[in-house]
Amino acid sequence: MTKRKFIYNKPFDLESGGQLPQLEIAYHHFGAEISDGKPIIWVCHALTADTNVLDWWKGLFGTGDLFDPADFTIICANMLSSCYGSSSALSYSEELGRLWYHDFPSVTIRDIVRGQELGIEQIELSIGGSTGGQQVLEWAIMQPKVFKQICVLASNALHSAWGRAFNETQRMAIAADQTWQENNPYAGKKGLAAARAIAMLSYRQYDTYKESQQDDPEAINDFRASSYQRYQGQKLSNRFDAFAYWRLSEAMDSHNVGRGRASIENALAQIEAEAIIIGISSDVLFPPAEQQLIAKHIPQSHLSIMDSLYGHDGFLIETEKITKILRPFISCKNS
């Protein structure tokens, strides 16, 4: 396992009209070198994940798992504007003479994908869930010859009004933090904690809380669900940056594979890779109808809707079920 950085020493134009003086993309590399000829698995991570996919997607990636570094070259790059090593609000700007922070421009999913193009001509499989799945779709449309297979989990071709409403509500929570306007990486931390608590309501669902956060019937305060929300909010606030969260949620809102391509249906039809599309029956943020739409319009697609207690987060948790769905399609694993 090695952590590396790609540096593009030229101005990087953004879809919004903004520009970065240079681009830095941090990534983790697991298993064989690209030159060794092992099949390449490219992971596009979700909103607040880092590049160490062996840590946050255990059960799917790791020794003895479906995607074992002994069998593959596995790469996971940090999204542009995230806070785990790629160009972001925490990057030092020579132009500004300080951290970018509030001056860091807006990015889109397409900008994020363009930033990850490291010149690899053939990728066996690209896989991602949620925001990661949005990247996989965009990339497979932008460069259809690169991928043999793609796997999109709990994602969509167009971010919904419902999803955008959740994201805007979270940004409102961050903006309500009195420290938010300060130009430093510690600003907005309390707001970020509140934003994460809001997000948890969309990542899980009614039965998740019913099953895991039951209280003593006699309780009148100090409820488990309340404690759980505070814990999840503080946990993210301790490790993530509020402005990175802001920009990444905006990027998610920008997602529309049909923009500038006549229609969503026309854009999806350009994908040449074999596509495995996985939805979750209890997902209230990316409901199964969104995966059904994707699968309907990709020429070579296979759709599976799995049951899970965990709602949207099932794509991270239900690794046994995902492995069972994926294994028959991973030709390089079965040869």
For the annotated catalytic residues, the residue numbers are 130, 283, 312
Using the structure block, give the residue that is written with the tokens 């940004």.
171
Cβ atoms of residues 120 and 139 within 8 Å? no
Burial level of 40, CB count in 10 A (0-12/13-18/19+)?
Answer: buried
Q: How far apart are CA 158 and CA 257, in angstroms?
A: 6
* Helix/strand/coil for 88: coil
CA-nearest of 72, 82, 102, 71 to 24 is: 82
Residue 320's Cβ-count burial label (10 Å; 0-12, 13-18, 19+) is exposed
CA 229/CA 207 separation, integer angstroms: 16
Q: How far is 316 from 47, CA to CA, in rounded Å?
A: 12
CA torsion sign for 291, 294, 295, 301 is: negative
The Cα 203–Cα 313 span in angstroms is 5
Q: Which residues contact 39 (CB under 8 A, 6 or more apart)?
A: 71, 72, 73, 124, 125, 332
Sequence-distant (6+) residues with CB within 8 A of 264 are 157, 158, 256, 257, 258, 293, 297
- Spatial distance between the Cα atoms of 319 and 304, rounded to a whole number of angstroms: 14
Measured between alpha carbons, how far is 266 from 284 in angstroms, rounded to an integer? 26
Crossing angle for the helix pair 161-175 and 189-203, to the nearest 10 degrees: 160
